Amino acid sequence: MDINENVKEYLPLTEATYYILISLIKPLHGYGIMQNVEDISKGEVTLGPGTLYGALNKLEKKGLIMKAENTEDSRRKNYVITEFGKLVIIEEYKRLNELIKCSKNIIKSIGG
């Protein structure tokens, strides 16, 4: 399977997953991710610990993120996005952009 097909398998991303991935451009641990997600979504998205734990596990297993090396506190592991994870968010960003572009006029015509 070529890498493009591989990337597309992960789309669409849930809102939570998308925010977690773009937060992990720099290494962060669980609570730091939640704060960052709140920040960039201007308080619109709040993550629960169960949701975050599940997402981190799944994303790590699928190779979209990995544990960052320098973790001083073993109970608070830092995670960071992988190169493959970057490809996935770029592809998702393009997909969302495409949706916006092709529906723009229609949305305008109905008063949006």
Partner 1 sequence: MKLFKLFLAWQDEKEETWLREMAKKGWLLEKYSFPFYTFKKIKPKDYIYKLDFKTTFDNDLDEYKTLFKDFGWEHVTQCVKWHYFRTEADKCKLPDIYSDKNSKLQRHKVLFRILNIVLIFISFLAITVVFNNRYDYIAMDILKIIYAVMIPLFVYINIKVYIKIKKLKKNI
Report the interface residues with partner 1, using CB under 8 A: 14-16, 30-31, 34, 45-55, 57-58, 74-77
Minimum Å gap between C-beta 106 and partner 1 is: 25
CA distance 17 to 108: 29
CA distance 41 to 68: 24
The single-letter code of the amino acid at 74 is S
- 75/108 with CB nearer partner 1: 75
- 67/104 with CB nearer partner 1: 67
- 41/82 with CB nearer partner 1: 41
Neighbouring-strand partners of residue 81: 65
Mention every residue, 6+ apart, whose C-beta is less than 8 A from residue 12.
92, 95
Minimum Å gap between C-beta 80 and partner 1 is: 16
